[in-house]
Structure 1
């Protein structure tokens, strides 16, 4: 049996292709059942996120083409279109890939933690759909253990590398005590939501959210016990704001030099920290000429992001070493399980031969044959039957000059102690 990982991700396929092969929640159950029903597929799990769609399967040899063809059929795409951007890994490489994905080493943002939760969801969905057998069950459990070890023993999840975190990190260089700072956030998209979360976690207690749609601003502000205003309310809010962070999709600047200058006068020139994350910019560049304003743009944040990324890269190298150890351990357990299957087959065959000899011996005793002769015949018969097949195989190996097989047989059947004598 072969462990297979097949998929596409943000590195191999454009978003237009990733959209086509993504599995929505309503599709997942039927997809797992169809995938599991393929003749060559024994076990299956599906991981589908905005950045990747991956299928983890236990298949017969050469089963990857069947899986790829099925993926194309399910999403009504020609296999050739998928071939150009799909990757596949087998056995140890497949296990290594899943572990790297789980700890964020294969993510767009190095070390991001959300992917582990998404893998756990994929695992649970596969279990519910009865797509997991012993092989994938053990792989996922082993992967979760390795991911936990990486998170515990490295700093892969620390030093965030998002623009939102970088903005708050810069603010911390100016404000010694965030609890006294008041923040004005302009916009209500994902970046501003992350900014609000980081500020709240840093200790900022007063957050005002300004947005073109006040309803959306209210939804975000309520999460952090803040207040919402429309864009028209910004001039008044500026008078109280110590931190201003803006990220909208407006085509023209929202904060002009005159508006900020008037607010500074009413603030009696208490300094204001401003970050303009938007492209095009929300804050006129001339605002930086004002003496009491610290204005940063998205380009200024790159230094913070790169510094944090360097820290994460060191942790990523440590994580790679832990994953290599995890893969080696997974391989070792797999080999032991494989040997267990052989042992069970050998013992089962031995039990059959023993039962046959035992029944024949009991029949002879019942017919009045002398117990001593029955035991002698039983011992002779059982020895011959147990050693018949190994003897034939040894002779065949000798005829073919397969010395390695002869040495292995001697070690297995005789052991080192007997061979020395």
Structure 2
């Protein structure tokens, strides 16, 4: 059974935080889950936590095992969802194409799933069905993105934050964290009009932006520069808050908290002059491009169905792999036998005549067997079906 266990997206942020998995814990979690699953992939983003698995166990059993291995409190089990087999494959294809994102069609999920798959490959937690499925899903996501050209209608938590901050009058920025979302936020800021951008990171060498308006600062010195900015966009992977009420100067601020768990102290929400938006607030902002994206996406659903069909065809064919191996072994044995005869007799017979004899002998080995089977099936009343198969194998058409 292949399946997915995920955290519902329509639940409160404080519950989702308790069922999140930090990127730095991926390896440990995968190693632990490998002990109870044949294959496993962890997908964890600011809006999504999902565990994809392949197991021979019953679903109720694997559900409990996953909760135990991830140290999740079972009292939150009703805040999760699950799909198995066909529903799971359909879900993954919808996720990677952006149908299940809070911001419909957002363009980060493809890269996030690709990264999740690469981590699983590195830890050898995917080897069979999930490996093939995620490979097809990533290909599907790329084709979907190319065909729909959704990148020409940019929508993401980072773009909404930057667009809304500009609408509210922000000119100077500080981005906390330079992971995937932080990098994207900086790109959106750089693509428009702004006065100053501070990027706070633990490793200042990790950022290489050639722009005089950009200043890379050490993360633990960020408080010194709060006074110089209108807007803070925080998107770290820290397990605790990093923006605290007592560190903010008394001035107007626009703050976007894109992290899960949250980066910004909840008490800051009540400070006069501060506009604080968390990830739930951001995703609820009605983007003017949403309807256009939805129309384009649903008109390209055939791309998803193509890859879903390809996966199940691959899985069905994979079931006869042992028989294919036997067929190849049979062919190998006949080849080796004829070649051995050729080596032993090539100096005693005319080479051309010997080649003809051995080639005809090889042909007869299969044709004569096919004739025997055809006769047997005629006597059993199954001639038509058998004959169709034999025609496909032996009757060569131009």
| Structure 1 CA distance for aligned equivalents of residues 267 and 149 of structure 2 | 34
- Aligned position for 1:205: 195
- Aligned position for 1:413: 393
CA contact (8 A) 2:370 2:390 kept: no
- Aligned position for 2:328: 347
| Structure 1 CA distance for aligned equivalents of residues 312 and 382 of structure 2 | 27
Per-residue deviation, residues 350-369 of structure 1 (Å, max 9, x unmatched) = 22244356668988x79x99
The TM-score with structure 1 as length reference comes to 0.57
Q: What is the Cα deviation at residue 8 of structure 1?
A: 1.1
Counting only pairs closer than 5 Å after superposition, residues 224-373 of structure 1 correspond to structure 2 as 234=251, 245=254, 249=267, 254=272, 305-318=286-299, 320-328=301-309, 343-356=324-337
CA contact (8 A) 2:110 2:142 kept: no
Asked if 1:142 corresponds to 2:136, the answer is yes
- Aligned position for 2:69: 74
| Structure 2 CA distance for aligned equivalents of residues 415 and 198 of structure 1 | 61
- Higher relative contact order (Cα pairs below 8 Å, separated by 6+ residues): 2
| Structure 1 CA distance for aligned equivalents of residues 369 and 385 of structure 2 | 14
Asked if 1:89 corresponds to 2:84, the answer is yes
Counting only pairs closer than 5 Å after superposition, residues 173-184 of structure 1 correspond to structure 2 as 183=171
- For residues 230 and 50 of structure 1, do their structure 2 counterparts lie closer, same or farther at Cα, with a shift above 3 Å needed? closer
Per-residue deviation, residues 1-39 of structure 1 (Å, max 9, x unmatched) = x6x23121324877677556544456533443454455x
- For residues 199 and 404 of structure 1, do their structure 2 counterparts lie closer, same or farther at Cα, with a shift above 3 Å needed? same
| Structure 2 CA distance for aligned equivalents of residues 81 and 148 of structure 1 | 35
Per-residue deviation, residues 297-326 of structure 1 (Å, max 9, x unmatched) = x99x97x72523223322432453433344
- Aligned position for 1:49: 45
Per-residue deviation, residues 32-82 of structure 1 (Å, max 9, x unmatched) = 3454455x72x433323354443444556x775664453144236699975
- For residues 403 and 53 of structure 1, do their structure 2 counterparts lie closer, same or farther at Cα, with a shift above 3 Å needed? farther
- For residues 26 and 182 of structure 1, do their structure 2 counterparts lie closer, same or farther at Cα, with a shift above 3 Å needed? closer
| Structure 1 CA distance for aligned equivalents of residues 272 and 68 of structure 2 | 49
Counterpart of 1:132 (choices 122, 126, 131) is 126
| Structure 1 CA distance for aligned equivalents of residues 358 and 188 of structure 2 | 80
Counterpart secondary structure, 1:145: helix
Asked if 1:164 corresponds to 2:161, the answer is yes
Task: Work out which of the two has the higher radius of gyration on C-alpha atoms and give 1 or 2.
Answer: 1
Per-residue deviation, residues 85-125 of structure 1 (Å, max 9, x unmatched) = 4322326x544433322232212222233333332332222
Which region of structure 1 is more displaced relative to structure 2, 76-85 or 352-361? 76-85
Computed over aligned residues only, the root mean square deviation of the Cα atoms, in angstroms, reads: 5.7
| Structure 1 CA distance for aligned equivalents of residues 170 and 73 of structure 2 | 55
CA contact (8 A) 2:8 2:79 kept: no
| Structure 2 CA distance for aligned equivalents of residues 232 and 15 of structure 1 | 27
- For residues 19 and 305 of structure 1, do their structure 2 counterparts lie closer, same or farther at Cα, with a shift above 3 Å needed? closer
- For residues 69 and 411 of structure 1, do their structure 2 counterparts lie closer, same or farther at Cα, with a shift above 3 Å needed? farther
| Structure 2 CA distance for aligned equivalents of residues 48 and 322 of structure 1 | 25
| Structure 1 CA distance for aligned equivalents of residues 370 and 14 of structure 2 | 59
Counterpart secondary structure, 2:136: helix
- For residues 139 and 357 of structure 1, do their structure 2 counterparts lie closer, same or farther at Cα, with a shift above 3 Å needed? same
Counterpart secondary structure, 1:105: coil
| Structure 2 CA distance for aligned equivalents of residues 402 and 336 of structure 1 | 24
Q: What is the Cα deviation at residue 219 of structure 1?
A: 5.2
- Aligned position for 1:123: 117
For these two proteins, the number of residue pairs brought into alignment is 344
- Aligned position for 2:203: none
Q: What is the Cα deviation at residue 203 of structure 1?
A: 0.5
The TM-score with structure 2 as length reference comes to 0.59
| Structure 2 CA distance for aligned equivalents of residues 400 and 36 of structure 1 | 49
Q: What is the Cα deviation at residue 126 of structure 1?
A: 1.5
- Aligned position for 2:212: none
Asked if 1:111 corresponds to 2:109, the answer is no
Counterpart secondary structure, 1:305: coil
